[in-house]
């Protein structure tokens, strides 16, 4: 063999050796610390399992529902956070809404007893007690169930679950968690409304009616809104004006409110109703201030606020109690 051939062959063998050495997988530091008998494959599986365990959402704990009568839904963690003390107003302090109060309480009582009941949309004037009525009805019906159990009657506890407006798209998932539970649930959404670009109303519509699964028998939905049709009037008129078929332009969104069996309207209160609200709070919290002076101050407060409502009455009573050094703690029975 010629010298050039031998040199070429030697260079080729050396190049192959270097290429094989470079392609050989390097040993990671974590593998060098593996205990005897372990393999890199086992270590990788362990790391993957640990990562999946960290990423997986916690399973809902059925026993946790007994911890409270009210919860807040957190969809990111698939968790119902118990509420230790619900911010509610006594039913007797809600003035000027007697008719809607009786309708909602009756509907809630039927639902808690396992009888047919309707989803409810409470709509109308701001500050007139829409959300307060939902929470008060829940407390009143639960008290009635407790009294019935004390007399040997039947009836499971009624739970109140608040879902935030921005979490409406997770409503079907919440329904899936509640389905089959021995409890009955009021799923409550405060200040519900939708704008032109919002499509999350479709999740709500599927739960109310029309979905394959529909609403579970042990769940009812109560929502409050300042709008009867859950969307701004100017948006409805704009869509009607620009649509090819004006009659069908907003039908999909408007039909959402039609799926609530109960429409309970709240309207601005009269002066007498407003003064009755103030007097009710003053008596309930035993504030030593009554008569003409109370009415004069309360009306002046409403004038400066430009409105009369239960919320304005409560804000005045808070100011009055603060000036008189009276705490607004619930009186002991």
Name the 3-class secondary structure at 98: helix
Q: Is the same domain home to 210 and 70?
A: yes
Q: Is the same domain home to 180 and 281?
A: no
- Read off the pLDDT of each residue in 59-87 and give the average, rounded to a whole number: 83
Going through the chain in order, the beta strands assigned E by DSSP cover: 70-74, 79-82, 120-124, 158-162, 184-189, 219-225, 262-266
Strands 158-162 and 184-189, sheet pairing: parallel
Q: Is the same domain home to 169 and 126?
A: yes
Tell me how many domains the chain contains: 2
Tell whether 221 is covered by a domain. Answer: yes
Nearest residue to 118 (alpha-carbon basis) of 267, 254, 264, 227: 264
Q: Is the same domain home to 167 and 291?
A: no
Global model pTM greater than 0.75: no
Tell whether 47 is covered by a domain. Answer: no
- Cα–Cα distance, 42 to 33 (Å, whole number): 13
**For 42-46, 131-135, 183-187, which range has the lowest pLDDT when averaged over its residues?**
42-46
Q: Is the same domain home to 171 and 259?
A: yes
Tell whether 176 is covered by a domain. Answer: yes
Q: What tens digit of pLDDT does each residue of 140-177 get?
A: 999 998 888 775 554 458 999 999 988 888 888 998 89
pLDDT band at 86 (very low <50, low <70, confident <90, very high): very high
- For residue 272, the tally of other CB atoms under 10 A from its CB is 10
Q: Is the same domain home to 244 and 119?
A: yes
- At 246 the pLDDT is 52
- At 250 the pLDDT is 55
- At 59 the pLDDT is 46
Name residue 265's beta-bridge partners: 123
pLDDT band at 103 (very low <50, low <70, confident <90, very high): very high
- At 330 the pLDDT is 81
Final residue before a domain boundary, out of 240, 266, 292: 266
Q: What tens digit of pLDDT does each residue of 107-121 get?
A: 999 999 999 999 999
Buried b (16+ CB within 10 A) or exposed e, 218-255: bbbbbbbbebebbbeeebbeebeeeeeeeeebbeebee
CB 94 within 8 A of CB 136: yes
Q: What tens digit of pLDDT does each residue of 209-267 get?
A: 655 666 789 999 999 988 776 665 555 555 555 554 555 545 655 666 777 889 999 99
CB 288 within 8 A of CB 250: no
- For residue 164, the tally of other CB atoms under 10 A from its CB is 14
Residue-number span of the structural domain to which 118 is assigned: 62-266
Final residue before a domain boundary, out of 250, 266, 282: 266
């Amino acid at each position: 063999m010629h010298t050039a051939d031998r040199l070429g062959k030697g260079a080729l063998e050396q190049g192959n050796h270097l290429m094989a050495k470079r392609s050989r997988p390097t040993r990671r530091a974590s593998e060098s610390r593996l205990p005897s008998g372990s393999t890199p494959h086992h270590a990788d599986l362990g790391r993957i399992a640990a990562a999946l365990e960290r990423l997986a959402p916690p399973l809902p704990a059925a026993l946790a529902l007994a911890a409270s009568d009210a919860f807040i839904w957190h969809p990111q963690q698939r968790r119902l956070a118990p509420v230790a003390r619900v911010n509610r107003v006594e039913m007797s302090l809600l003035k000027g809404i007697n008719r809607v109060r009786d309708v909602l309480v009756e509907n809630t009582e039927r639902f808690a007893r396992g009888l047919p009941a309707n989803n409810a949309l409470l709509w109308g004037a701001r500050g007139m007690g829409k959300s307060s009525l939902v929470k008060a009805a829940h407390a009143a019906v639960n008290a009635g169930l407790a009294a019935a159990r004390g007399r040997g009657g039947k009836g499971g506890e009624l739970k109140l679950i608040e879902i935030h407006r921005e979490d409406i798209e997770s409503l079907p998932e919440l329904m899936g968690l509640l389905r089959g539970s021995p409890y009955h649930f009021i799923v409550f959404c405060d200040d519900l409304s939708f704008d032109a670009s919002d499509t999350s109303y479709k999740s709500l519509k599927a739960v109310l009616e029309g979905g394959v699964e529909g609403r579970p028998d042990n769940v009812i939905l109560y929502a409050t809104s300042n709008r009867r049709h859950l969307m701004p009037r100017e948006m409805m008129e704009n869509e009607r004006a620009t649509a090819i078929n004006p009659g069908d332009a907003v039908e999909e969104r408007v039909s959402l409110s039609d799926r609530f069996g109960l429409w309970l309207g709240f309207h601005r209160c009269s002066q007498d109703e407003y003064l009755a609200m103030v007097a009710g709070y003053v008596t309930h919290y035993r504030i030593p201030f009554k008569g003409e002076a109370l009415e004069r101050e309360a009306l002046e407060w409403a004038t400066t606020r430009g409105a009369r409502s239960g919320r304005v009455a409560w804000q005045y009573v808070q100011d009055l109690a603060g000036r008189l050094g009276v705490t607004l703690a619930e009186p002991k029975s």
